[in-house]
Chains A and B, each alone.
Chain A
Amino acid sequence: MALPLSYHWRHLFVRKTTTLLTVLVIAAVVGVFTWMMGFAAALDNSLSQARDEGKILVLKRGATAETNSAIPVDEYNKLTQLADVARDPTTNDPLISPEMMVQVSRPRVRDHGKTWGNIALRGVTPMAFKVHSNVKYTGPEFPSGAQEVIVGMSAHKQFDGLTIDDTVDLGYGGNRSFRVVGYFTADGGPAESEVWGYLPSLMNAYNRTMYSAASLRLKEGADPSSVIEQIEGPAIQLTAQTEAEYWKSQSSSINTYLLIMKVLVVVMCLAAVFSIANTMFSMVAGRTREIAMLRTIGFSKRQILAGFVIESVCLSLLGGAVGCLACVGWLQLVGKTKDMFGATTFTTLAFEIRMTPMTVAWALVSVVVVGVIGAWVPAMRASRVGVVAALREA
């Protein structure tokens, strides 16, 4: 027979203050932990939408991002000679999308416009929707000719003045008013933080004669590296990478940030281990006689050990639950929106920190591990209590 769970549970409430304080320590650590996990998960979710292996991004040699690339039209036209590019089943056009990218500065909603963010403004043709297959736009017809733009869902939520019927001042002199006519989604990918308009209208507004970059879709089963080789070869002399590679290089600064967070969280988890150990030692010390009695009536050393570990795990799970709730509350009250620059894009990637079942599960698993580690040594001590001596004690 094992000790009933209620025995452990009710023991937690014998010393209410100690239990409460320990639970709060664990809750604080778990709160930070879940926030970080949610942050990492949100970023990862966004970037995982940009790992389309069938999509290739073409830039000018020497450029590091779409924003600082410039491809003259005649150089762009050479791309049409590429083999292995997918074709539109009805028109038989190659799926290559010429694009222009500039930036527009808009106030952030989360700090009421105190700071501004740089949003990518992409000039595209209807071809872009075939190449960027995860972009879904359901509003009125994609503007062609009129001074209109469509806005990615994240950009709409996180930046001011990007709601349907708002007008945004764009153009080289900032004196061309474009009206927002619709929103688009991209499964939460980076494109959702962008504003899209009709390429010729935007090129005209920005006095541009060159494209910035081009995206193209590969034929089913084509080898990206051979196409990249052709693009970088003597005939075309541009540079290219798969979308996955591009975003991998852009997320280097984000990775530094995540690394800092991880170090902090590990250190805090260790502190929680010590804190639990402290509480458990005091519990063991206060119950020496009781343990001795349990041993006398036949409970084994192993059961005593397990008992204290279970108690600590209950304590930790309680803290974990409070921590997760605190994190949800924090995200609701303080805000869950965040945006970060890519390493060289100079345009921002907006996302929302979300608590997913996965983040909660991770937090709870980690807190159980912390609870077990913290309880191990005190529980070992409890299981080794000298029965006779303890019972004789006053």
Chain B
Amino acid sequence: MTITYVLMQNLKRNPLRSMLTAAAFALPMAVFVAAISLVVVLVKVAAHNEQELRLGVRQKTSLTNLLPEGMRRKIEALDPDRRHLRAVCGMRWFGGRVPDTQNTLTSLAADADTFPVVYSDVGMTPEDAAKWSADRTACVVGTGPAELYGWKAGDRVTLESTVPPYLALEFRIVKIMTNTERSNVFYFRRDYLEESYQAMGFASSRCNIFWVKCSTAEGLRTMQTQIDQAFANSPEETKSEDENAFAASFMQAGGDIPGLMRTMAIVVVCIIALVAGNTMMMSFRERIRELAVFKAIGFQSGRIFTIVLAESAILALIGSLAGVLPTAALLTLIPLRGLRMGPISTVEVSPVAVVVSIVIALMVGLAAGVWPAYQAMRLRSVDALRKIA
């Protein structure tokens, strides 16, 4: 008689309970895997952004207070030997929307010459870069808007700005950016914007933010203090922060979805632990005599411990699979598209999230089984056999 056989028999003994436990396990796990998928994406994005070593320099009072474009040269001049700094890209908010729609796209005009360097992670091929520098109306778009509006490379698209002077501009898409970090963004050339502004008599030449690409992490910290010091007490006082700190402020204003998901994940783990613990206590109590018989006929304590623990773990495994796999399948078949939660445009269940969820469920199952298993191990057969369950 193998342990596996005993385990399967035990689970089948009270199929109703096994099913209810599995269901009570599966539902929170379905939430868990979705929450973890989001957290995994955000962790990846944060890790990626950290490696990209970009420093955002904005006006201290508000991002919406514009800085003069000449500041780029001043920032570049702070590090003439290019020990820390690689390139600076000025950006201006355009806030365009597709005509006759409501959603404002995160659309920004970027310095044409340095954009491919500062945003090397966009992965422009030499041909893309050539098109970007040759065509004034060039733009690159993230997968979010591209999927939402059915755009592809080579298309001509029009955006209407929602900021004064509410300019409408036509662009040609050079590339669809496939990296997650840029999935909800639309970049185009700032010289095109400035020329269009001048053509309508709207003098400007200003930027909302300068992204400074640095060569090392220490270099980034050095530049951060140097830049803020250099402009302190000037009319253009700045606040510099790395990309993750910059994004964090927006995440908070978006209701802190990552924080919400983390809290949900913790609550789910607590719930499944309690559910598994409850079931194991109940089956243990009902089976005290049986376990005592096992002991009486010579099963060693260690073996008894394993039997109870393994039952808990198998239940957790079944429950988590029942929750995780359908959710993963559902979200793969029908992905939630068109979301605008920071960099996230699509909720897809990643393999990492599936593995993490199942491992955590297994661990919870094991932890929940430890106490009943320990009690089973310490069982005194004589007492237990005498007891009427």
A: residues with CB less than 8 A from B are 15, 17-18, 21-22, 24-25, 28-29, 31-32, 60-65, 67-70, 102-105, 108, 111, 114-118, 169-175, 249, 252-254, 256-257, 260-261, 264, 267-268, 270-272, 274-275, 277-279, 281-282, 338-341, 343-344, 346, 348
Complex CA gap A355/B64 in Å reads 36
Contact B253 A29 (CB under 8 A): no
The 8 closest A-B pairs by CB, nearest first: A62-B166, A174-B61, A173-B235, A274-B24, A21-B278, A271-B27, A278-B20, A70-B164
Chain B positions within 8 Å of A, measured between CB atoms, are 16-17, 20-21, 23-25, 27-28, 30-31, 35, 59-65, 95, 97, 102, 104, 160-164, 166, 235-237, 239, 245, 248-257, 260, 264, 267-268, 270-271, 274-275, 277-279, 281-282, 285, 339-340
Contact across chains for A341 and B164 when beta carbons are under 8 A apart: no
Q: Which A residue's beta carbon lies closest to that of B257?
A: A257
Contact of B248 among A28, A65, A103, A114 (CB under 8 A): A114
With contact pairs A117-B252, A281-B17 given, residues A68 and B162 touching in the complex (Cβ less than 8 Å): yes
Interchain nearest-CB distance for B275 vs A (Å): 5
The 5 listed contacts between A and B (C-beta, < 8 Å) are A22-B274, A64-B104, A104-B62, A118-B253, A173-B237
What residues of chain A lie closer than 8 Å to B35, measured between beta carbons?
Answer: 264
Partner of A278, one of B27, B245, B253, B278: B278
Q: Which residues of A contact B264 (CB under 8 A)?
A: 32, 264
Assess whether B235 is in contact with A18, with CB atoms less than 8 Å apart. no
CB distance from B17 to the nearest CB of A (A): 6
Do the beta carbons of B162 and A253 come within 8 Å of each other?
no
Inter-chain CA distance A114–B271, complex, in Å, is 31
Closest to A206 in B: B65
Complex contacts, A114 vs chain B, CB 8 Å: 245, 248
Q: How far is the CB of B143 from chain A (nearest CB, A)?
A: 19
Q: A24-B274, A29-B271 are in contact. Are A339 and B253 (CB under 8 A)?
A: yes
Asked, given contacts A62-B162, A67-B64, A249-B102, whether A257 binds B255 with beta carbons under 8 Å apart, the answer is: yes
- Indicate which residue in A117, A175, A260, A272 contacts B235 across the interface (CB closer than 8 Å): A175
- Structural contact, A68 and B65, CB atoms closer than 8 A: no
- Structural contact, A172 and B65, CB atoms closer than 8 A: yes
- Smallest CB-CB separation from A65: which chain B residue? B162
| Cβ distance B12 to chain A, nearest Cβ, rounded Å | 16
Across the interface, do A60 and B27 meet the contact criterion of CB distance under 8 Å?
no
Q: Given A21-B274, A116-B249, A172-B65, is A60 in contact with B166 using a C-beta cutoff of 8 Å?
A: yes
CB distance from A197 to the nearest CB of B (A): 13
Tell me how far the C-beta of A328 lies from the nearest C-beta in chain B, rounded to whole angstroms: 16
